[in-house]
Structure 1
Amino acid sequence: MSPVAALRLPLQIDLGAFLALLQRLQVPHRVTEEAGEQVLWVPDEALAEQIRELYARYPQGDPEAQVPGTQASVGFLQNLKGSPLTTAMLGLTLLVAALTLLGENFAAIRWLSFVDFRIQGDYVYFSYLSETLATGQWWRLLTPMLIHFGVLHLAMNALWYWVLGRRIEARQGTWMLLGLTLVFGLAANLAQYWYAGPSLFGGLSGVLYGLLGHCWLFQRLAPNAEYRLPPGLLVLMLGWLLLCMTGIFELLRFAAIANAAHVGGLLAGCATGLMGGALARQRR
């Protein structure tokens, strides 16, 4: 059975909220760009007719709407089910936050930090990466992304992973999001270690900058509704990165920022966005 074009709309129309509604309702669909239009495809004409009716009534993705004949309920739990990897990643991050007491339980953090360390009196002694890998502790290359220091650190990173992770999972699938998360986490951690040497750092922010760079350049090369970022988000996050790199937060003794991790994640995300966007453009 050939897919049916349910909607053909100009590129400037933001379909993000409507597509999120279809995802929550578990309606199978995909979006392509053809001749300057964005085309929404569904499996058959009967479903296409229902989608047209739904869009006519709820172009902004009314969360109370349902496609006639579907049994899916709309709500927060449905959002979680529709983005299993994003949900699982956030669940794991919250679990680690509880185990590490948001950075207060150093006994637990020792097992997740990029390199092992020990505290003796007022001093902290770190191992080197070569020693860490020689003892088979390869998990440390990734686990720092799960460590967070404080409620604000955790809340901000969790929020943006939810925003960006769900977009990638909806557009490119669960396995792609998993692969990108691991690649960006590795790139961010290695960059921070290369720049600052053995030290204690953590958080999802390096991964977030990777996801941001991926969506940004993918969208530039192969425009699609899922990767159309909210207005001002790119400027906000890049501006925040530049502000952090000035060292003002360290000067004010507010926090130590792992800037190299942010830059490493962003560069890795830009690379995958260029490759993914170029492939998607070629397929079109």
Structure 2
Amino acid sequence: MTPVAVLRLPVQIDLGGFIALLQRLRVPFRVSEEAGEQVLWVPSEQLAEQVRELYRRYPQGDPAAPQMAAPLAGGGYLQPLKNSPLTSAMLALTLLVALLSWFGDNFALIRWLSFVDFRIQGDFIYFAYLNDTLASGQWWRLLTPMLIHFGVLHLTMNTLWYWILGRRIEAHQGAWMLLGLTLAFSLAANLAQYLYAGPSLFGGLSGVLYGLLGHCWIYQRLAPNLDYRLPPGVVVMLLGWLLICMTGIFELLQFAAIANAAHVGGLLAGCLSGLLGGAVARRRR
């Protein structure tokens, strides 16, 4: 579904009240800035006509309008999935791999997705080295660990945050940008973990998630926009969680082994991309 531009207005016009109205009505939309204008987008032409009429009547927003929510929102529970196809596809692929690998217990599949190959002999696991892996042409391993999840809780938390952060980037910068950032952050996180811990078994979307967080965080500070405006405390909470994990408390309690280097690598890569993207957006303004 191709997004439709509803309104093109000078950046000096305050859309805050009207945007608050759209949010109360559960209308799917996004706002971008192009050539000194703020552009309001919706998923379809039919919805665009309704939103234009709504803006004509209530340009500053109107608390008396929520009864119009049902005909405007439309699409039901599937509409958010249709509005964010790349985010939805990524989560569907992650869920499929989790089920096929039975949440990390199917080592026959996991060994094809891990950063380096391995074999299990008795009570021991033997890993190959990265140079041998790349020399044999298995380049996909640089990215595929992000699809591996060990347990339902691991999968649930990672997919939830990818849904929250991925949709924001897809709405503001497009599906191709989200795909490129996802792959870049996965590569940075996996390389960081390998360089820090050596050959080992690790996986999950968390390194990518910290990259998406860093991207939104820094981009928003340089070029403020509604899509990247995270709820208060989210950045503090996730960075605090990273610091707690880095203390080694979970390994000490034998609860889980945390790939902290992957988190840090993803976060640094995300901050760098946010710095570059935010600087470009700020310059265009």
- Specify if TM > 0.5: yes
Matched, 1:116 2:117: yes
In the alignment, which residue of structure 2 is the partner of 1:4? 8
Q: Is the partner of 2:112 in helix, strand or coil?
A: coil
Matched, 1:258 2:262: no
2:54 paired residue among 27, 50, 56? 50
1:199 and 1:97 mapped to 2: Cα distance? 19
Q: CA deviation at 1:83?
A: 0.2
Greater Cα offset, 229-238 or 8-17: 8-17
TM-score for both structures, normalised by structure 2: 0.85
Q: Is the partner of 1:103 in helix, strand or coil?
A: coil
Q: CA deviation at 1:229?
A: 0.3
8 Å Cα contact 2:26-2:69 kept in structure 1: no
In the alignment, which residue of structure 2 is the partner of 1:184? 185
- The structure-2 alpha-carbon separation of the partners of 1:167 and 1:46, relative to structure 1 and needing over 3 Å to count, comes to closer
Instruction: Give the letter aligned to residue 281 of structure 1.
Output: R
Q: Is the partner of 2:32 in helix, strand or coil?
A: strand
Q: CA deviation at 1:179?
A: 0.2
Matched, 1:242 2:243: yes
Q: CA deviation at 1:30?
A: 3.2
2:77 and 2:68 mapped to 1: Cα distance? 10
- The structure-2 alpha-carbon separation of the partners of 1:139 and 1:61, relative to structure 1 and needing over 3 Å to count, comes to farther
Instruction: Give the letter aligned to residue 9 of structure 1.
Output: D
Q: CA deviation at 1:230?
A: 1.2
Matched, 1:202 2:207: no
1:140 and 1:241 mapped to 2: Cα distance? 25
Matched, 1:18 2:23: yes
Can you list the C-alpha shifts for 1:106-156, whole angstroms capped at 9, x where unaligned?
111000000000000010000000010011000000000000000000000
RMSD: 3.3
Greater Cα offset, 49-58 or 227-236: 49-58
Aligned length: 274
Q: Is the partner of 1:154 in helix, strand or coil?
A: helix
In the alignment, which residue of structure 1 is the partner of 2:103? 102
1:270 and 1:232 mapped to 2: Cα distance? 18
Greater Cα offset, 225-234 or 1-10: 1-10
Q: Is the partner of 2:199 in helix, strand or coil?
A: coil
In the alignment, which residue of structure 2 is the partner of 1:127? 128
8 Å Cα contact 2:7-2:52 kept in structure 1: no
- The structure-2 alpha-carbon separation of the partners of 1:60 and 1:189, relative to structure 1 and needing over 3 Å to count, comes to farther
Can you list the C-alpha shifts for 1:167-226, whole angstroms capped at 9, x where unaligned?
000000000000000000000000000000000000000000000000000000000000
Q: CA deviation at 1:18?
A: 2.6
In the alignment, which residue of structure 2 is the partner of 1:80? 81
For structure 1, the residue ranges without an aligned partner over 5 or more in a row are none
2:211 and 2:222 mapped to 1: Cα distance? 17
- The structure-2 alpha-carbon separation of the partners of 1:15 and 1:196, relative to structure 1 and needing over 3 Å to count, comes to farther
Q: CA deviation at 1:11?
A: 7.1
Can you list the C-alpha shifts for 1:10-40, whole angstroms capped at 9, x where unaligned?
77998597399443xxx6x6334999xx955
2:25 and 2:34 mapped to 1: Cα distance? 18
In the alignment, which residue of structure 2 is the partner of 1:159? 160
Q: Is the partner of 2:160 in helix, strand or coil?
A: helix
In the alignment, which residue of structure 2 is the partner of 1:214? 215
Instruction: Give the letter aligned to residue 76 of structure 1.
Output: Y
2:210 and 2:252 mapped to 1: Cα distance? 24
2:116 and 2:65 mapped to 1: Cα distance? 48
